[in-house]
Structure 1
Amino acid sequence: MKYTLEKSLLLLVALCFGSLTYAQNVENNNQGDFDEFMYRQGSSFRSASGKPGPEYWQNKADYQIEATLNDEDHTIVGNVTIQYTNNSPEALNFVWLQLEQNRFTENSRGTLTTPIQGNRYSGDTNGGYSLSNVSAKVGRRGDVSDKYLITDTRMQVFMAEPIPANGGEATISMSFEYKIPIKGMDRMGRVEVEDGVIYALAQWYPRMAVFDDVEGWNVEPYLGAGEFYLEYGNFDYKITAPYDHIVVGSGQLQNPSDVLTRTQQDRLDKASKSDTAVYIVKPEEVTDSTKMVKQEGNLTWHFNIENARDVAFASSKAFIWDAAKIDLPSGKQIMAQSVYPKESDGEEAWSRSTEYSKASVEHYSEMWYEYPYPTAINVAADIGGMEYPGLNFCSYESKGESLWGVTDHEFGHNWFPMIVGSNERRYPWMDEGFNTFINHYSSLRFNEGEYGSDLHQTRKYLKWFTNESREGIETYPDVVDTRNLGMVAYMKPAIGLIMLREYVLGEERFDNAFKSYIETWAYKHPQPRDFFNHIENVAGENLSWFWQGWFYGNENIDLSLAAVYPYGGNYLIALSNEGGVPMPVLLEITFEDGSSERITLPVEIWQRGDEWNHLYETDKKVVGIEIDPDKILPDINISNDKWPAAIYTEN
């Protein structure tokens, strides 16, 4: 509702007669905006305080993989053995696996749902898995089953007998082969540079689908925008590649003496003690065949990583390779590494990649939760930016601020969703949005603000917030208009967390809650309600109005300072909520002597209606009042935020 001239005159008359009749007269309240908006009651699996319940469970998948990269026909040939542990309370007659390489076929659901004009998630259509030697058995002596069914990017493997509940184990194995796509939906693929082909390999082996207490089997197909939801486990994998390739992968290289020269091993050791990048393979050594321990044939690189959702690797004979140490809060030291072609070399480009990687991982480890993996590797490829545990693919053409931004963003994903294992297929805001939020503070910190961040300038996004085609955060990624995805999955949820931290809760309360959420759900599978419940319980605030309005609604913020009236040396401040999202009202009051004071009216003033009058008592002359003076809120109408009304010139 808006204040009319008639209402204002009536209010003035009442004040002149000395009667404090500005008490709130409510015709219709807004309690619906403050009610619970989804089922958030606790259970034995997930508590009402947003923690795993006493009977919480999740299954586990440990992998042993061996694969060979053929750089003549651009294929991967390999075999995988999965040790699967069923910790659920029910026996399983079958298991589901994800076969994402099947997305790269003419008749895949992802191909058939790609617009004619294409989009970021367009991909090759001459790929897909060839599988053989499929075998599944329960325990060590169970009967072997070779029965399976493939539907698009999903594979159902049937067991000869059920996998027992509460800790039963099964072994699933198979051989696989496919052609590596050139265009892998901006997540993986290959690109030819002057000194060779860069192979960026992700979604490269059959992976276990998640079986959880919320959906049972999570079997959404791999279409494009929806990313991944995977079980945690340990990975031991070997990559056989041509002798002149450098291979980097998620986790720790187990056999450096088999694949690196003594000089390269010495350089790695030096890098492990250095704060600045040390070359392992120098630019002038890239085309020198003596850089490798063999002069023909293949080499096998052996990697291991524990408690991870996934692994990825890169291979090329075109790689420059450098590294430096990362200092973690616990005192532990790990390695930042970068591999890139000569096209990416230079101080304005990838020569600073390791510096960026080190700063990013150190910041997030200090501010939120310590990085758990032994390496942090940045790979230059023909990919805009994509993350996997301990390893990123970023564009080999990125430079300067762009390279910092994508490097920092992809490493931030190690916290969301690699450590906190949310469902990216359904809730991209729980990984992209949370990550964009922590990126904001990392960029402000890096090199004393060398590149900075303008995410706090929330009003620069008002054109999108007022666009009729905008969509809500809760929209599934494969459904959302790709033109909206950046705001829906990344920016709007990040802005929401900034508002919570800097406007609603304050830094200390928010940080306590957010850190607790990360620690509580590290290596587990939180749902949206778990996040909402946990933040509320640790911060000590009912935020249903905020989750409903910002995360599960499509309305906007518009707080209005309708009028200011003098009253007996004090001031009556008339406020209204013109938008669909209620907010506390932070007022900065400026006095004639140049001093100022800030007061905050709680969000509950809007439970009673859309109008509120506040009596501000002071013995000073007030010359100005402003709502949200730091402009943290993306308030869609900045013309009604000040008294006296001001002409705004900001964009």
Structure 2
Amino acid sequence: MMKYNFLALFMAMLSLNAFAQLESNQDEFDDFMYRRGNTFRAASGVPGINYFQNTSDYKIDVSLDSETHQIKGSLTMEYTNNSPYDLDFIWMYVEQNRFTEDSRGTLTTPVDGNRYNGDTDKGMTISNLVAKTQGSSSSKHSMTDTRMKVYFDKPVKANGGKAEVKMDFEYIVPVDGMDRMGRLKTENGWIYAMAQWFPQVAVFDDVVGWNTEPYLGAGEFYFGYGDFEVNITAPYDQVIVSSGKLLNSKEVLSKKLQRRMKKAQKSDKTVYLIKPDEILDQSLKAKQSGTLTWKFKIDNSRDFAFASSRAFIWDAAKMNLSDDREALAQSVYPIESDGQNAWSRSTEYTKASVEHYSEKWFEYPYDVAVNVAAEIGGMEYPALSFCSYDRQSGRLWGVTDHEFGHNWFPMIVGSNERRYAWMDEGFNTFINYYSTKAFNEGEYPAGLDNRRRLVPWFKSDSREGIDTYPDVTNLRNLGMTAYYKPALGLLMLREYILGGKRFDEAFKSYINTWAYKHPQPSDFFNHMENVTGENLNWFWKNWFYGNNNIDLAISKVEKKNANYLLTFENKGDIPMPVRYKVSFADGSQEIKTLPVEVWQRGNSWTHEYQTNQEIIKVEIDPEKKLVDINSANDIWSSED
């Protein structure tokens, strides 16, 4: 009888369903990408039991000729294959080949140019290449645009096998290096901003194997980790700064500079090493002719950059890090950049930025943080940044803070910039927001305070999704897809959806878990969900993938006995919790939140609000944390 009654009820429900289909938004809450995990990457968003990373350690001797602008170097690279697969070859990047007439980057640059213009008469020459493994040597290699394939006579064995690759390289330093590197002529000499300057190993991982996307322009870099020992020989009158710690200061710095350096290492205030009126002062030189070799070292880094010039003003200050660690903030800049409204505050900015991120997110691991004035809008490398020499005031703070923020994303958390620009640019823009608010108690405005000013872009037909690869994205959209939209997503997640405490715990855990490793987007999504205990599929799916928008509305307020019925609507394509403020006739107010799950069964939800007071206004998102594309339907008022 019970079975019969249940069957009758079920048939009645089917009959009813023929006339009234139940509404469901289940697809908005479903998993939208393969995130189930495997032995390499666990579903909890942590490295799996078989996760691996190969390492590459570099020893490089390089010389700079300031007359011919030529770089000549000898490189020895030790490669360790920690993967479970034997490797018959490795891929290396030779990115100076971007600066040729027939490079893919040159041929895909629009006729009217863009930010990523570059010289086309350069390119890198490789010679004397020898690749050794298992006691056997090979010189076989082939060049494909900005990539070089190096073959081994015997494979590099899995699970710890080692190989050694040696080669010589040379090229002419371009003037215009795609706003990433190059040289700038100043009143007192050339400034050489050296990046992508040596052959470097590509990443071999569990996701695609060899990551060999060519260097085109908008897509930046993806490298593994290793130790760098770099000796740089240049004319005696050059000052050289780099990603690494200077090892032979007594050989390359005069006694006076050594004393000033020691003073700077103990000072919270900026100390001049070379003053503006001392740029060409020969008494500050360790030699009076010939060349000097500067020796640097940085460990567990994914890259190495340096700058060299006879035109530098040089100043520095101590950075105070956690656990009583100290490091040295430094700035080098020409006389054209001097001034308290300009680069004379660069070291102050650098110090404040690095100290803030160290305290809030993860301790800065390097011995130096160097800001270099160059003909480059802004570009980051481990422990060294290039920023435009003509930036001043808040614009100089903004670019300095942004480039040093990149030491956390992607230098420490080593995401793939060439594929997922939002995982470094967007995350960095997010942390920049809080560092700017903290600097000198808000000396400069935080750009994302007024988030709804960006609504016109979100409503434009030409917008693209965050997931669009940077080299594919229309350059007019890159600022939004790579920087602002992902940053806004994290701001909403922290300030509207999860709250600061829950978000910060998960975000710090993500950084700690993936420090010096290579997370994928799914690793970030899984990690945040597992630490916060929230299923955020609806958010990742609709904000980070696709072009959907937020539009929450309050459509009706009705009196019901002693209480009120508040009817909210989701007129957009992204479900969101409903945070709303109720204002009463006596002047008091109350803020409440409805969970995102109210939208699981449809796009309209009526909530019974219990109160003995008279409601005169209801406002959605009173702090305006959401990028809601229609502010006009956020408020209900009894006066309307």
TM-score, normalized by length of structure 1?
A: 0.95
Q: Within the alignment, does 1:67 sit opposite 2:62 as a pair?
A: yes
* Displaced runs of 4 or more, over 6 A: none
CA distance in structure 2 between the partners assigned to 1:198 and 1:364 by the alignment: 29
Give structure 1 stretches of 5+ with no counterpart.
1-24
Task: State the match for 1:133 in structure 2.
Answer: 128
User: What letter matches 1:409 in structure 2?
Assistant: H
Task: State the match for 2:17 in structure 1.
Answer: none
Q: Within the alignment, does 1:52 sit opposite 2:55 as a pair?
A: no
Q: Within the alignment, does 1:532 sit opposite 2:517 as a pair?
A: no
User: What letter matches 1:587 in structure 2?
Assistant: Y
Offset, 1:645? 8.3
CA distance in structure 2 between the partners assigned to 1:178 and 1:240 by the alignment: 15
What SS does the corresponding residue of 1:436 show, helix, strand or coil? helix
For these two proteins, the number of residue pairs brought into alignment is: 621
Q: Within the alignment, does 1:358 sit opposite 2:341 as a pair?
A: no
- 1:518-597 matches, within 5 Å, as 518-597=511-590
Match of 2:613 among 597, 617, 620: 620
Task: State the match for 1:158 in structure 2.
Answer: 151
Contact 1:456 1:495 in 2 (8 A): no
Task: State the match for 2:112 in structure 1.
Answer: 117
- 1:146-225 matches, within 5 Å, as 146-225=139-218
What SS does the corresponding residue of 2:287 show, helix, strand or coil? coil
User: What letter matches 1:419 in structure 2?
Assistant: I
User: What letter matches 1:597 in structure 2?
Assistant: E
Offset, 1:26? 6.9
Task: State the match for 1:638 in structure 2.
Answer: 631
CA distance in structure 2 between the partners assigned to 1:329 and 1:613 by the alignment: 50
- 1:10-25 matches, within 5 Å, as none
Contact 1:433 1:491 in 2 (8 A): yes
Offset, 1:457? 1.6
CA shift in 2, pair 1:467/1:646, >3 Å: farther
Offset, 1:284? 1.0
CA distance in structure 2 between the partners assigned to 1:389 and 1:461 by the alignment: 31
CA distance in structure 2 between the partners assigned to 1:110 and 1:360 by the alignment: 33
Task: State the match for 1:78 in structure 2.
Answer: 73
Offset, 1:646? 9.2
What SS does the corresponding residue of 2:323 show, helix, strand or coil? coil
Contact 1:421 1:523 in 2 (8 A): yes
Q: Within the alignment, does 1:381 sit opposite 2:395 as a pair?
A: no
Task: State the match for 1:609 in structure 2.
Answer: 602
Q: Within the alignment, does 1:331 sit opposite 2:331 as a pair?
A: no
Task: State the match for 1:499 in structure 2.
Answer: 492
Q: Within the alignment, does 1:317 sit opposite 2:313 as a pair?
A: no
Offset, 1:295? 1.1
CA distance in structure 2 between the partners assigned to 1:257 and 1:323 by the alignment: 17
Task: State the match for 1:14 in structure 2.
Answer: none
Task: State the match for 1:304 in structure 2.
Answer: 297
User: What letter matches 1:55 in structure 2?
Assistant: N
Task: State the match for 1:30 in structure 2.
Answer: 25
Task: State the match for 2:333 in structure 1.
Answer: 340
CA distance in structure 1 between the partners assigned to 2:303 and 2:108 by the alignment: 26
Contact 1:33 1:545 in 2 (8 A): yes
CA distance in structure 1 between the partners assigned to 2:252 and 2:277 by the alignment: 19
Contact 2:314 2:330 in 1 (8 A): yes
User: What letter matches 1:92 in structure 2?
Assistant: L
Contact 1:26 1:608 in 2 (8 A): no
Q: Describe the superposition over 1:227-262 as per-residue Cα deviations: whole angstroms up to 9, x where unpaired.
A: 000010000001111111100000100000110001
Contact 1:69 1:239 in 2 (8 A): yes
Task: State the match for 2:10 in structure 1.
Answer: none
User: What letter matches 1:210 in structure 2?
Assistant: V
Task: State the match for 2:399 in structure 1.
Answer: 406
Offset, 1:452? 2.7
CA distance in structure 2 between the partners assigned to 1:247 and 1:159 by the alignment: 36
Match of 2:260 among 257, 267, 273: 267
Task: State the match for 2:234 in structure 1.
Answer: 241
CA distance in structure 2 between the partners assigned to 1:282 and 1:525 by the alignment: 42
Offset, 1:453? 0.3
CA distance in structure 1 between the partners assigned to 2:124 and 2:76 by the alignment: 16
Q: Describe the superposition over 1:6-56 as per-residue Cα deviations: whole angstroms up to 9, x where unpaired.
A: xxxxxxxxxxxxxxxxxxx97321110110000001111111110001111
Offset, 1:644? 1.5
Q: Describe the superposition over 1:527-571 as per-residue Cα deviations: whole angstroms up to 9, x where unpaired.
A: 000000000000110000000000012110000111111111211
Contact 1:286 1:318 in 2 (8 A): yes
Q: Describe the superposition over 1:385-404 as per-residue Cα deviations: whole angstroms up to 9, x where unpaired.
A: 00000000000000000000
Q: Describe the superposition over 1:367-425 as per-residue Cα deviations: whole angstroms up to 9, x where unpaired.
A: 00000000000000000000000000000000000000000000000000000000000
User: What letter matches 1:318 in structure 2?
Assistant: A
Task: State the match for 1:280 in structure 2.
Answer: 273
User: What letter matches 2:114 in structure 1?
Assistant: N
Contact 2:616 2:638 in 1 (8 A): no
What's the Cα RMSD here? 1.0
Contact 2:314 2:332 in 1 (8 A): yes
Task: State the match for 1:21 in structure 2.
Answer: none
Contact 1:26 1:609 in 2 (8 A): no
Q: Describe the superposition over 1:193-234 as per-residue Cα deviations: whole angstroms up to 9, x where unpaired.
A: 100000000000000000000010000000000000001000
TM-score, normalized by length of structure 2?
A: 0.96
User: What letter matches 1:27 in structure 2?
Assistant: L
Q: Describe the superposition over 1:66-102 as per-residue Cα deviations: whole angstroms up to 9, x where unpaired.
A: 1111111111110111100000000000000011100
Contact 2:577 2:596 in 1 (8 A): yes
Match of 1:511 among 501, 504, 508: 504
Contact 1:574 1:614 in 2 (8 A): yes
CA distance in structure 1 between the partners assigned to 2:95 and 2:442 by the alignment: 39
Offset, 1:454? 3.0
Q: Within the alignment, does 1:104 sit opposite 2:95 as a pair?
A: no
CA distance in structure 2 between the partners assigned to 1:330 and 1:362 by the alignment: 12
Offset, 1:312? 0.1
CA distance in structure 2 between the partners assigned to 1:454 and 1:520 by the alignment: 30
Contact 1:456 1:498 in 2 (8 A): no
User: What letter matches 1:104 in structure 2?
Assistant: F
CA distance in structure 1 between the partners assigned to 2:96 and 2:597 by the alignment: 51
CA distance in structure 2 between the partners assigned to 1:584 and 1:76 by the alignment: 57
CA shift in 2, pair 1:316/1:481, >3 Å: same
Contact 1:504 1:584 in 2 (8 A): yes
Contact 1:557 1:581 in 2 (8 A): yes
CA distance in structure 1 between the partners assigned to 2:447 and 2:223 by the alignment: 33
Task: State the match for 2:437 in structure 1.
Answer: 444
CA distance in structure 2 between the partners assigned to 1:409 and 1:135 by the alignment: 40
Offset, 1:296? 1.1
Identity %: 61
User: What letter matches 1:496 in structure 2?
Assistant: G
What SS does the corresponding residue of 1:330 show, helix, strand or coil? helix
CA distance in structure 2 between the partners assigned to 1:293 and 1:574 by the alignment: 77
User: What letter matches 1:455 in structure 2?
Assistant: L
Task: State the match for 1:17 in structure 2.
Answer: none
CA distance in structure 1 between the partners assigned to 2:433 and 2:638 by the alignment: 32
What SS does the corresponding residue of 2:223 show, helix, strand or coil? coil
Offset, 1:441? 0.1
CA distance in structure 2 between the partners assigned to 1:626 and 1:36 by the alignment: 32
CA distance in structure 2 between the partners assigned to 1:646 and 1:601 by the alignment: 25
Q: Tell me whether 603-612 or 496-505 shows the greater mean CA deviation.
A: 603-612
